[in-house]
């Protein structure tokens, strides 16, 4: 399990190194690394960890799903936009593992999107041997 503490209402945290550490501790040589968020207002994405690009992704999410646009769930806890944005991003990733390494391109990083923070979050990771 990876523990994450977000510091803003919307926060993007690069968890590639933690996932890589969990893989090394697993002892799995070849297979798949499952990365799975235990939350409903977060997302997991593989992309470039470039601040300008991350701001562009957040801007895209806000344009598609602006806050307070008359959602039914806002009658409850007021965070419907965060749930809806999370559904666009997805909440799990599967990354191939070969020779004890995550198979990732040079610019690819594992990005955790906090969409309703700040909060303490947990991401389940499990190396599945093949």
Residues that bind Zn ion (CB under 5 A): 77, 79
Cβ 75 to Zn ion, closest distance in Å? Answer: 10
Query: Please, which residue, 55 or 62, has the CB nearer to Zn ion?
Result: 62
* CB 73 to Zn ion: min, Å: 6
Give the Cα separation of 27 and 31 in Å (integer). Answer: 11
73 half-sphere exposure, CB direction, 13 A CA radius: 9
Report residue 64: phi and psi, to 5°.
-75, -45
Q: Is the CB of 27 or the CB of 68 nearer to Zn ion?
A: 68
Between 20 and 116, name the residue whose CB sits nearer to Zn ion.
116
Q: Which two tokens stand for residue 6?
A: 């977000």
Q: In the complex, what is the shortest distance from the CB of residue 92 to Zn ion, in angstroms, rounded to a whole number? A: 19
Burial class (CB in 10 A: 0-12, 13-18, 19+), 123: buried
Q: How far is the CB of 71 from Zn ion (least distance, A)?
A: 10
């Amino acid at each position: 399990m990876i523990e994450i503490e977000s510091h803003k209402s919307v926060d993007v945290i690069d968890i590639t190194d933690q996932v890589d550490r969990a893989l090394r501790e697993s002892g799995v040589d070849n297979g798949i690394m499952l990365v799975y968020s235990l939350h409903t207002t977060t997302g997991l994405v593989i992309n470039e960890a470039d601040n300008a690009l991350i701001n562009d992704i957040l801007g895209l999410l806000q344009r598609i799903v602006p806050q307070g646009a008359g959602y039914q769930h806002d009658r409850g806890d007021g965070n419907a936009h965060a749930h809806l944005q999370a559904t666009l991003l997805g909440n799990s990733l599967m990354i191939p593992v070969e020779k004890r390494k995550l198979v990732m391109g040079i610019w690819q990083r594992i990005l955790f999107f906090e969409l309703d923070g700040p909060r303490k979050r947990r991401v389940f990771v499990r190396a599945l041997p093949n």
